[in-house]
Amino acid sequence: MSTGKEKIIPILAITVLLIGSFSTFYVHANKTVAEKDTITINNQKFTIQELFESVEVKTIGLDEGDISGLALDKLIIFSNVNCPSCHKYTIIAEDSYQKTVGWEDMKKGIITEFKRTYFEERAHAFWIYNVVEIEVI
């Protein structure tokens, strides 16, 4: 004899598989194709090379050792954001992963030539790979 649970469990499994499948389709359909060496900051597009020629490089200490890159606070000032400390900053990766940080964190953060952000004293969840945009909010 078939019980209620025996009927509902396959339905639940099919439901999550459908959710996963539709989400996979959505993710691929909406994938951002970023230009390889560019990054958008405050709605302006820059090449990584151009930024490395213009913005201060600094080294920060992480639990995985020291790492160098462009100082994020200087990058924001370079992109002509008015009153940088008045804003929050959302760092967005190619795969839509994003994290929002404040100005104090930007002062402790860097972005490397491989478009990876790192922050001193922040969880690795804030280490974002393949950054395509820094949005000022």
Partner 1 sequence: MKDKKRLVAGILIFGSLWGFSEVIIGSTLSDFGLPSGALMTGFFAMFFLLISRLTFRQSGMQLGMGLIAGTLRMFNPLMGCHICSAIAIMAEAMVFEIIWRYLSFDFEKHKNLTIQVSLGIFIVYSLYVSGYIITQILTPVVDGTGFYLGNLIAILPKILSNGLLPAFIGGAITPAIVILSKINLTIKDRIYYPTTLFTSAFCWIAVVGSWLMVG
For partner 1, the binding residues (CB under 8 A) are 5-6, 9-10, 12-14, 16-17, 19-21, 23-24, 26-27, 30, 63-64, 88, 90, 92, 95-102, 105, 122-127
What order do you get walking across the sheet with 38-41 strand by strand? 44-47, 38-41, 131-136, 89-93, 98-101
Shorter beta-carbon distance to partner 1: residue 98 or 112:
98
Name the strand (E) or helix (H) holding 101: strand 98-101
Shortest distance (Å) from residue 12 CB to partner 1: 4
φ and ψ at residue 123, rounded to 5 degrees: -60, 160
Shorter beta-carbon distance to partner 1: residue 41 or 92:
92
Shorter beta-carbon distance to partner 1: residue 106 or 111:
106
Q: CB of 132 within 8 A of CB of 34?
A: yes
Shortest distance (Å) from residue 54 CB to partner 1: 28
Shortest distance (Å) from residue 40 CB to partner 1: 15
Q: Which residue has the tokens 């100082």?
A: 71
